[in-house]
Chain A
Amino acid sequence: MSLHVEHLAKDYPTRSGVLSVLRDVSFDLERGDALAIMGPSGSGKSTLLHLLGTLDRPTGGEVRLEGRDPFALSERALADFRNRHIGFVFQDHHLLPQCSVLENVLIPTLVARDNREAMKTWARQLLDRVGLSDRLEHRPAELSGGERQRVAVARALIHRPILLLADEPTGNLDRRTAESIGKLLLDLHREEQTILIVVSHSQELANLFPRMLVMEDGNLQTPTIRPDTGIRLPQRTDL
């Protein structure tokens, strides 16, 4: 079992008491699985993604990737774990404006002991794969929104992660570009056999995914109605 999530919870202290953002979330995914998570704003989608990506620590529950509990690791080991096994694509692509396209893709490799040339070659291949082979030396400011997100996707895959997480990857893009990015993500996920989890408001994007869950008030649920068709779906919590 590649990704095992059990009773995952996240609370935040506030002036008026504890705010539970995530409650008792459990699911399992294997390599090659792709999952779209939808839900209204403030439902806890991004929090879940950040916990899965070890960007934040849960207040309860367990996450295991390839059988390992990343939160049991030391700070240093956790950073290495994230560097090696998790890839992120954010809504705001978070490209470093001071670096070229190729350099941005190579950013994660700077703190890893990889063969530099090999990584460079792989970065070029990834950029070729995302259709930016002719923009290697361009700066983010010289790219369109879709191109920037492609760079972010390539950067997320530079270490061939097990888990590829995308937080509203198409949120800032037009419909056509969003679709192409969604497809690109799925294609690359399939090629690399990653576990892909995408959080999005976009139904179009979610429709590209074979599986979908809905987050409501911190709970992960199987949707009762398929949002695009209005067809009632059977209740499923055991993905």
Chain B
Amino acid sequence: MTLKRLRLRNLLYHWRGNLAVFLGVVVGTTVLTGARLVGDSLQGSLRQQTLQRLDWVDEALIAPRFFRQALADDLIGSKAAERVCPVILLQATVVVRQKGGGGAIAHQVRGVTVMGVDERFWSSPSAPWSSSGKDNGDSLVLNRALAGLLEVSAGDRVSLRLQKPSAIPRETMLGRRDDSAIVEEWTLPVGRVLSAEEPADHFSLRPEMDAPRTVFLPLHLLQERLGLAGRCNALLAGEVRSPLAEAVRANLQLADWGLTLQGPQERVETLFQRLDTNHDDKLQPREWRDRLAASVVESIHSGRNVVLNRDEVEGFYRRSRNYLSLESTQLLLDPFISAAALDTAKDMRLRAAPTLVYLANTLAADGKEIPYSVVAALDPTLAPPLGPFLPALLKQLADDEIVLADWKESSLPRTIGEKVTLSYFPPTPPSPSPLPPLGGEGKGEGGQPREESATFRLVGFVPLTGVTGDPDLTPEFPGITDKLKIDDWDPPFPYDNTRVKPRDEHYWRDYRTTPKAYVNLAVGQRLWGSRFGRVTSLRMAAAKGDDLTESAATFRRGLLGRLDPAKGSLVFNPVKQQALAASAGGTDFATLFLGFSFFLIAASLLLVGLLFRLNIDRRAEEIGLLLAVGYRRAAVRRLLLGEGCVLAAAGAVAGSCLAMLYTQLLLQLLVSLWPGGSLQAVLRPHFTPLSLIGGAGAAFVVSVLTVVWAVFSLGRVAPSALLAGQVPGTGEKLGRRPRRWIGWIVGGCVVCAIVLLVAAGRVQDHEMRAMTFFGSGSLLLIACLSALSGWMRSSRHHTVEGHGLWSVARLGIRNAARHPGRSLLTAGLLASAAFLIVAVEAFRRHVDAHEAVARSNGGFDLVAESDLPLFRDLNTEEGRREVADKLVPLYRDEAGGDNKIAERRSKEARGLLEQIKVVAFRVQAGDDASCLNLYQPLRPRLLGVPIAFLEQQHGGFQFAATTARTDSERANPWTLLLPQDGEVPAFGEKNTVEWMLHSKVGGRITLPPDHSLRIDGLLSDSVFQSSLLVSEANFLRMYSGHEGYNYFLIHTPANKESEVRRVLELAYADRGFQATPTAERLQSFLAVENMYLSTFQALGGLGLILGSLGLAVVLLRGVWERRGELALLRALGFRRATLSFLILAENAFLLLVGLLSGTLSALIAVAPHLLSGGGSIPWLHLLALLVGVVLVGLIAGMLATISTLRAPLILALRRE
């Protein structure tokens, strides 16, 4: 016989009690480990999805411009990565038309990613086309998700609606914004639908919950269609060997930046490539006529029908145009590029002349005018070959002065000093118009350029020969510079060819794009500069004696070395690393569920303590004997602790196994409660040994600590008392007066709770406020339980007398004080669970989404998004006209070709649109920052709010907090977003900022590459959960190349919501326009929030059940201990029913005291929150819940009582 053996014997002999303890530990471990495993599963699922989606791709370069596809080969050549794949990535809407349905759309899916890839993308077994791709025909490959949505399979035809790439920014005067220039519709057969086993089926670069919708096309096919041969806008890299940034920088060419550097030689080369159609190195008259300025031809070789050979042409350029010109395919040099080029030129000792060429609609003086003239803004004082552009004797040009070309046919007066007025369209279209009042006529000019003008004083003329007769000052612009006549021009701006006179055509023939007027560079940049650039070319001349060709090479190298690839977004992002970081989740689910399960864990641990303590109580005599035969108390404790440890260890092991099942159930719960069902495809159980061991270990430690508490609570009861069966906490203490400190505790807790409640109203920080709330609630709870403890320990109870049920009930209540510790634990358990449930119920959002539209979303009842940007302002005539024009053919199709019906319906739609109010936002794509996305949003989506909206908006949106200081800011917090110097102010939805981005008002959020946003306001219940908001001006400062509007808030007239939605979705179907009722969107956000609270409450409810179980156990034990007493009462004539009532009274008393303490503490603590309108309590629901708990507790107690009272009591009586 050893102590170890004795311990084992004890464990086996007292198996019933030990089993209960074991089960308690199992529950605790299951819940604790389960919480960790839920976190693991979520992170593991997201991680698995990330790895699956990115497949072999580690890093990705996604540029806003098209660059050489050959860069991929360069990078492999430099051994920076084993695998680099050039890709064209585009956003598209895909439609399937009904078969034989006259072109009617059967299915439309927006948010589709189109990927033009070559064989390098595919993991070899799944490559759907060969390296050339040419033997595969013109077909596309769909992933399963998209094919499923479109309900298509191989052989069906689908139409892609893509955004046509445009080198020239669409939001410049020369940018094309009409439908035909924006949308490319392309119908192709489906060659194949990928299978689930193929990695490409899941491929996506963005960490998002929804299954990617992807179309794959052979790269060459897409290039061909888009006219971008040899170019791509993305590179995917895998097996990276060395930092790709260095390799990219080393291999970038000017072409990758969209730049050309032209010297005389390059110009001739370009000219011959364009004009020498028979490749004989000569330009025949039919080749050069009307394509090359006659004045230039005359300068090369006089005569009408001369043949120009290459040497002659080159000789001319070397002689008369001996400068380098840096130009951009997007017409304007990016500001950072022109700055770098100027610095490089300075370093190379090149003389540089920034030049801005613009098109004036009219040059007018003294009532005479010339239409459509090129004007150049430059430094006119420079020496040849860059200038001068001044009349003889004039040394410089003032800002209000203009020099005209000496054009003999000009209709303008030739009087020096004459006022010359330039009329022109502004360089960028105006911002959206201020919002019209609802139902009012939106007559803003938004979208439609309005002519502006500037007046100069004529100071002289320069000849149309030599330096000042240079058509190459004007960069190439398709639609204008490639036209043989002005009359043929096809410009993107309003153009009236009736204004063109024969003399204008003569000028075009003789001088082509040679400017007709010159002004100072600064003036031109002020008038025609924009965020897209302030220079159309940078002309440079070599220092005297330097060779221009050599200078060009040196400049090229120098400029490439100076250009920061990051500024052009020509950098690889470690997408896999970032996505894996994002897969850690926006919220730490392990901690969240641990928090959710806190009361359940606490309840199970209290139950463990209670049960173990009951075991000890039951074994009091045994313990007394051991002490009597000479066991030290420490030895007895060790013996009991050892038993406890064995139970805790066994329970922890079993619990961690059960936790896997419990986790599955929790995941099922999450999946079923998650709005939209997107979680189902993602969430899979993931169990890491660390979490299993960690959870079991933590549960073991906490359980052992609970056991230690139970063992030490034995105190120093005399062995003789223990031998007599007396258990700690009874008998010997009953005679004592209640401890005075209990009164102090009650008073202190109540005072502190009141102080915290008062302070809570002034706390801004949400975490502090939550802590204040829980702090005051907990203090009130402690006060209630302390008061109960004081009552139970008091000797001054009223004498139980009289007769009838009330007297029996009072005796039962008095019995609750028999074991103050046990009773307090039980009541505490119930009180805590009730506290939790009531508090959570108070914080549950019962928001009426429709009411929230008016209260927190400015009354905008539709929220819309489009795949391709919209450029027209829908509040204006022009915008409405665009919609109406787009609708006519669609309605005609619907009406079976009846144009009258189509026109009428289109007119009605236009009338409807006059009654709506639209706010258009710019969108910088990014991660969905709403709670619907489980990934950590590393770069949240950004919305640019129009300035007009900020200035006009007064109310209609609810702010949880702002940094407003002045009355006007408080009256309209939106003004906080207005551009200021320094940091960019931003707004975000409260939940997004606090829970997803882990920031607060005044906090900073950094967006790549280095934009810092300061949170100046938190919106409440708005539809902006997915994004952060900044002013449009700041938005464009951050993303100067951004174009168009993709996000819209729409205010519709009453009951016209669906109609407006239908009209806009139909008109802009080609742009992937989709409108959703704001209330519906809000509901989905609220659903997530309430899902969390439901989970919290469900787990709290389990805690309550455990509490009720604990109560039943305590009751059972109490009844068992008192069976002699009960037997005596039976002997004295008490009926069994009366005894049951006696016991039930004790049970009900503890139940009610526990529940009422918890409920009242919670209600008082949440009162400020409720009074401030932050929440409301569904009283009926709450009452039903609490009554349910009381009933469950009473029934459990009754069953326990009945089972005990059925046992023969004679033995117990004998014992008494």
A binding-site residues for B, Cβ under 8 Å: 13-15, 46, 50, 53, 55-57, 75-76, 79-84, 86, 88, 90, 92, 94, 96-99, 102-103, 106-112, 155, 159
Contact = CB atoms under 8 A, between A and B. Distances in A.
13 contacts: A13-B735, A56-B718, A56-B720, A79-B627, A79-B633, A80-B630, A82-B629, A83-B630, A108-B629, A110-B1, A110-B631, A111-B635, A159-B630
Nearest to A84: B630
Given A94-B621, A96-B625, A103-B1, A79 B720 contact: no
Interface stretch (B6-14, B107-115, B1024-1032, B1179-1187): B6-14
B665 interface: no
A210 to B, nearest CB: 26
Interface in B619-636: 621-622, 624-635
> For the complex, would chain B's binding face be called helix, strand, loop or mixed by DSSP majority?
helix
B1119 interface: no
B3 interface: yes
Contacts of A94: 621-622, 624-625, 628, 723
Contacts of B635: 79, 111
B6 A111 contact: no
Interface centre among A53, A84, A94 (most CB of B within 10 A): A94
A88 B627 contact: no
A18 to B, nearest CB: 11
A82 B636 CA distance: 15
Contacts of A96: 6, 9, 622, 625
Given A15-B795, A75-B633, A107-B626, A92 B735 contact: no
Contacts of B1172: none
B346 to A, nearest CB: 91
3 closest residue pairs by CB, A with B: A83-B630, A98-B13, A79-B632
B723 A107 contact: no
A191 B1053 CA distance: 112
A55 B718 contact: yes
A107 B636 CA distance: 12
A234 to B, nearest CB: 34
Given A53-B628, A79-B632, A82-B629, A99 B735 contact: no
Interface string B749-776: 0000000000000000000000000000
Interface in B1-34: 1-3, 6, 9-10, 12-14
Contacts of A107: 1, 6, 625-626, 629
Contact of B9 (A14, A46, A99): A99
B820 interface: no
With a 10 A CB-CB cut-off, give which of B626, B633, B720 has the most chain A CB atoms: B720
B794 to A, nearest CB: 12
Contacts of A83: 629-631
Interface residues of B, number: 30
B630 A55 contact: no
A15 B738 CA distance: 13
A108 B632 CA distance: 11
A118 to B, nearest CB: 14
B432 interface: no
A81 B13 CA distance: 30
Nearest to A110: B3
B1 A99 contact: yes
A108 B633 CA distance: 14
Nearest to A100: B1
Contacts of B622: 94, 96
Contact of A82 (B3, B628, B718): B628
A96 to B, nearest CB: 6
Contacts of B627: 55, 79
A159 B628 CA distance: 13
B533 interface: no
Contacts of B632: 75-76, 79-80, 111
A108 B3 CA distance: 11
B429 interface: no
Given A83-B629, A83-B630, A96-B622, A110 B718 contact: no
B628 A55 contact: yes
B218 interface: no
A177 B774 CA distance: 66
Interface in B105-125: none
Given A83-B629, A83-B630, A108-B629, 16 more contacts: A55-B718, A57-B718, A75-B632, A90-B723, A94-B622, A94-B624, A94-B625, A96-B625, A98-B13, A103-B6, A106-B1, A107-B1, A107-B625, A109-B1, A110-B631, A111-B635
Contacts of A92: 621, 723
B628 A110 contact: no
Contacts of B721: 56
B475 interface: no
A84 B629 CA distance: 9
Contacts of B625: 90, 94, 96, 107
B881 to A, nearest CB: 95
Nearest to B629: A108
B8 to A, nearest CB: 9
B719 interface: yes
Contacts of B2: 110
Contact of B720 (A55, A81, A159): A55
B97 to A, nearest CB: 83
Interface in B59-99: none
B630 A50 contact: no
A50 B13 CA distance: 29
Contacts of B720: 46, 50, 55-56
A55 B726 CA distance: 14
A97 B14 CA distance: 10
A67 B101 CA distance: 116
Contacts of B13: 97-98
A127 B720 CA distance: 26
A75 B6 CA distance: 23
A75 to B, nearest CB: 7
Contacts of A57: 718
Interface string B605-642: 00000000000000001101111111111110000000
A99 B3 CA distance: 12
Nearest to A87: B629
Contacts of B9: 96, 98-99, 103
B625 to A, nearest CB: 4
Nearest to A82: B630
A111 B631 contact: yes
A48 to B, nearest CB: 11
A23 B281 CA distance: 138
B9 to A, nearest CB: 4
A98 B630 contact: no
Contacts of B795: 15
B723 A55 contact: yes
Given A55-B718, A55-B723, A98-B12, A108 B1 contact: no
Nearest to A85: B630
A103 B625 CA distance: 14
Nearest to B12: A98
A111 B549 CA distance: 102
Contacts of A81: 630
Nearest to B633: A75
Contacts of A53: 628
- Which of A15, A55, A80, A108 has the most C-beta atoms of chain B within 10 angstroms of its own C-beta? A55
B719 A111 contact: no
Nearest to A15: B735
Contacts of A155: 629
Contacts of A90: 625, 723
A96 B718 CA distance: 19
Contacts of B3: 110-111
A50 B718 CA distance: 10
Contacts of B14: 98
Contacts of B634: 76
B805 to A, nearest CB: 28
A98 B10 contact: yes
Nearest to B722: A55
Give the most central of A81, A97, A110, A112: most B CB within 10 Å: A110
